[in-house]
Structures are given as structure tokens and as C-alpha cells.
Amino acid sequence: MSITEAIREFMCSCPLLSSGRLNVDYLGSEPREYAIIRTGGEELVHSYADGGKLMRFDFVFASREWIAKSVDEQLAIAEFYEKLALWLEEKTAKGELPKLEAGLSPQSIRAISAGRKKDHAGDTAKYQMECSLIYLKEE
């Protein structure tokens, strides 16, 4: 299983996403869709003397939402992303992380940036939050 597939499977377990479809590298034009968008490949964080490597995999979690015109709607979207970042923190604290292939041991998954409006088209807007998975790669 690829890292992207493991992250998608993990994110599908989030109760906050129960009302939408979770895509990979594609965000549809209709609300409420979500996507995991890879923003790069594996990045070396640290090399260990035994040959192991601490690696980072960055990705964006994005959603397509109706444009929030009222303050209540705007706050609901902000709260969704705050809760999602907290969910990632809680999962890391409990050691409940994406299941990676043999030789890769997940260490943490977290939001790097708060959810923010990226762009809009018509009556919808794209929001996104930058995230990172840290894992140990055994050699």
C-alpha cells in the first residue's frame, strides 16, 4: 500500500468526514468533497547511524464548500478545520496512525497550517490545510 493510500484510509476513519467523498489529487467542483493532494515526495528529516531514516511526507487536505456568506457559515468552516487538526493531534498522542507497509513506522501526523480559503469559483470555494506524516524508514 502506498503512503498516499494509507493516509487516505486513515483519514476516511475520521468522523468529521462522514458527509463527503475523499479523493486523491482531485477535488471536484461540487460541495462537499474532500481530497488528499500530494505536495511532494518523501523528504529526509534525519539519518541514523544504523541506516534508518526519519522521513516526512507532506500533503494537503482540501475541501470544496459552499461559499460562506454568513458569519455562522464562516465559523462552521473554520471550526471544521480546527477540529480536524485536533483529531490528528489526538490520533498521534494515542499512537493511532496510518498503517504503512513493512519497514515504515509512522511516528506522527499533524496539521502544519490552519484550514484556509484557497480560491473560489461560482458559489463554491476550496479550503485547504497543509499536513505532514513523519515516519521511520528502516534500512
Tens-place pLDDT, residues 34-55: 999 999 777 989 999 998 999 9
What CATH number should be reported for the domain holding residue 31? Answer: 3.30.2000.30
Determine the Cα–Cα distance for residues 115 and 102; give it in Å rounded to an integer.
32
Which residues 6+ apart lie within 8 Å of 80 measured at CB?
16, 63, 115
Domain extent at residue 110: 3-137
Q: For residue 30, give the DSSP letter.
A: S
**What integer pLDDT is reported at residue 40 of this predicted model?**
79
63-91 per-position pLDDT tens digit:
998 887 788 888 888 999 999 999 999 99
In the chain, the number of structural domains is 1
Please tell me the distance from the alpha carbon of residue 112 to that of residue 131, in angstroms, as a whole number: 5
pLDDT tens track for 83-121: 999 999 999 999 999 999 999 999 999 999 887 777 776
Q: For a pLDDT cut of 70, what percent of the chain falls above it? A: 99
- What is the rounded distance in angstroms from the CA atom of residue 124 to the CA atom of residue 28? 11
Mean pLDDT of the chain: 91
CA dihedral 47, 48, 49, 50 (to 10 degrees): -120
Nearest to 8 by CA among 64, 59, 80: 59
pLDDT tier at 139, thresholds 50, 70, 90: confident
| Predicted model pTM | 0.90
